[in-house]
Amino acid sequence: MAGPGKGGRRRAYLTREEEADFLATFEERAKSGQVATATVIQRALEKRLGHPVDKSMISKMLKRHGWRKIVPRPAHEESDPERQAAFKKNSRKR
């Protein structure tokens, strides 16, 4: 008898709403300038649950809630594109 699978998250430590509330504390900290790393979030979750969790679980939780890795700017904020272009013009390969 073929039918649809059970689906869903049956082995979760926290519900989606509990996860969102847990991550909201880190959002508030980030707004005040503190950095939220996966290791810090993992330690806080382990303290809340009372047992260790794998780092992949943290990564999946962050992805589930739309968190992403922020990367540095591609250029320094005080760089001068005109000076860089002039330098490139004057320093040809010989």
The mean pLDDT value for 66-85 works out to 81
- Three-state SS at 63: helix
pLDDT of 72 > 90? The answer is: no
Q: What is the tally of structural domains in the chain?
A: 1
With CA atoms as reference, report the closest residue to 26 among 64, 62, 71, 72.
62
Residue 74, domain member (yes or no): no
The mean pLDDT value for 51-57 works out to 94
Residue 90, domain member (yes or no): no
Which residues span the domain enclosing 60? 12-69
Residue 53, domain member (yes or no): yes
Residue 87, domain member (yes or no): no
**Who's near 45: CB < 8 A, 6+ residues apart?**
13, 22, 53, 58
For the whole model, what pTM was predicted? 0.65
Q: Is 28 left (phi over 0), alpha (psi -120 to 50) or beta?
A: alpha
Residue 91, domain member (yes or no): no
Residue 63, domain member (yes or no): yes
pLDDT, tens digit (0-9, with 9 covering 90-100), for 6-36:
777 778 899 999 999 999 999 888 888 788 8
